Amino acid sequence: MSEILVRDLEIPVRVITLNRPRFRNALNREMIESLHEALKAFEQSPQRVLAILGNGDHFCAGGDLNDLPARFWKCLPGMGVPVSKPVVCGVKGWTVGLGFTLSMMSDMVIAGEGTRFCFPEAKVGLFAGIGAALAGRIPQKVAVEFLMMGNPMAASRAYDVGMANRVVPDSEVEDATLETAAHLAALSPKVVAAVKRWTSMTTPKSPAESFSVESALVADMMASDDLKEGLAAFNEKRTARFTGN
């Protein structure tokens, strides 16, 4: 069974569901790679809005520390993959570490009443710096407390400080997320994309966030068909036939 489920609705909305409920949807190497590819496919698709959900009682318990690649941030929209269209994340239960960062990098967050956001990196001894981007999105002292202390934050508090757009009963998270996505999909795609682009340009970026964006672009170029064609053309002393892939 696939640990990342992808489906398109009758309206131009794509839904990605983390599907490892037995492990609270902890993101392992395979899931991170699959999510990376799914984000790329969405960006290239005609779908206008992406909704991200978690199967089971919890959105995501973070990265699987027993199977986590060095470039774990590849699964984050706007970092591992440039995404010009809106991303709505529906969370409930535990939303931890990398799972929290996935919600942070989404454009909107719908949280269930029982959601517990947590960033326990200081308790584990691992911090890649990406979470520091939270200080550009909510009040700085609230962000520092959340990131340093590693204590869970309730959905109501997350709403109050700006980490969530809506709080709904846990049983209504999926419906509310898809309702929000459907509303966005009915609006002018050009205006929505412009709002996302320009508001993103005014949002402060953490050093790790900026680095990962550029690193992702370089990595995509290094893995591209155009690079293979360019090298082949050089060796064969002919003009390269680039396709942009």
- For 85-94, write each residue's pLDDT tens digit: 999 999 999 9
pLDDT in tens, 142-165: 999 999 999 999 999 999 999 999
pLDDT in tens, 52-61: 999 999 999 9
Average pLDDT, the chain: 91
pLDDT at 1 over 80: no
Q: What is the pLDDT of residue 123?
A: 85
Which structure tokens are listed for 235?
């060796």
Q: Which domains does the chain have, with CATH numbers?
A: 4-235 (3.90.226.10)
Q: What is the pLDDT of residue 207?
A: 66
Question: Which amino acid, residue 24?
Answer: R
Which has the higher per-residue pLDDT, 237 or 148? 148
Is the dihedral angle over the CA atoms 114, 119, 122, 124 positive or is it negative?
positive
Contact 108, 72 (CB under 8 A): no
Q: In the chain, at which residue ranges do the beta strands (DSSP E only) sit?
A: 4-8, 13-18, 49-54, 87-91, 94-96, 108-112, 116-118, 153-154, 166-168
Three-state SS at 126: coil
Q: Give the pTM.
A: 0.85
Which structure tokens are listed for 165?
């757009």
Is the dihedral angle over the CA atoms 174, 180, 74, 10 positive or is it negative?
positive
Q: What is the pLDDT of residue 7?
A: 98
| Average pLDDT of span 135-146 | 95
Rounded CA-CA distance 93/95 in Å is 6
Which residue blocks in 45-139 are alpha helix, DSSP H?
98-104, 121-124
Q: What is the pLDDT of residue 19?
A: 97
The contacts of residue 182 (CB under 8 Å, 6+ apart) are 9, 11, 13, 49
pLDDT in tens, 162-198: 999 999 999 999 999 999 999 999 999 999 999 999 9
The contacts of residue 146 (CB under 8 Å, 6+ apart) are 117, 119, 134, 153
The contacts of residue 237 (CB under 8 Å, 6+ apart) are none
Which has the higher per-residue pLDDT, 239 or 88? 88
The contacts of residue 103 (CB under 8 Å, 6+ apart) are 59, 89, 91, 95, 109, 117, 163
